[in-house]
């Protein structure tokens, strides 16, 4: 996974963001990325691959927008509950997850 350290992507308050096969990491992190963070982003990488890239981002943004009113316009809470995030947060500490994960597993988290 190619990693790009920078001060713009993602927004402050987030550690890293997987975009088009590249992991963008904020360069102002005190402790850098932990193993679980890399695992989290690798899960997104797999989701992205099986959604052929563009559909991953389309679905992600659509689901986030749909969830915002359900979380009383708390955009951060809506983001944490996007199915891709639920799968990634729920399994980021499991190092074996990607080796046993079945295709389209994120659907179970909708």
How many CB atoms are located within 10 Å of the residue 16 CB?
Answer: 21
Minimum Å gap between C-beta 16 and Zn ion is 8
Site string for Zn ion, 39-78 (x = CB under 5 A): ----------------------------------------
- The Cα–Cα gap between 28 and 66 comes to 32
Q: Given the rule CB under 5 A, which of 3-11, 54-62, 79-87, 97-105 is the region that contacts Zn ion?
A: 79-87
Q: Beta strand pairing status for 16-19 and 22-26?
A: antiparallel
Question: SS3 for 24?
Answer: strand
Which of 24, 88, 91, 92 binds Zn ion (CB under 5 A)? It is 88
16 contacts Zn ion (rule: CB under 5 A): no
Find, among 62, 106, 56, 61, the residue nearest to 85 by Cα: 106
- Residues binding Zn ion (CB under 5 A): 85, 88
């Amino acid at each position: 996974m190619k990693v790009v350290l920078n001060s713009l992507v993602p927004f402050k308050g987030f550690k890293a963001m997987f975009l088009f096969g590249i992991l963008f990491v904020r360069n102002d992190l005190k402790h850098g990325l932990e193993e679980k963070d890399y695992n989290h982003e690798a899960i997104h990488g797999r989701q992205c691959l099986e959604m052929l890239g563009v559909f991953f981002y389309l679905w992600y943004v659509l689901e986030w927008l749909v969830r915002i009113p359900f979380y009383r316009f708390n955009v951060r809470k809506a983001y944490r509950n996007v199915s891709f995030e639920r799968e990634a947060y729920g399994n980021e500490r499991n190092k074996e997850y990607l080796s046993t994960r079945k295709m389209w597993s994120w659907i179970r988290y909708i």
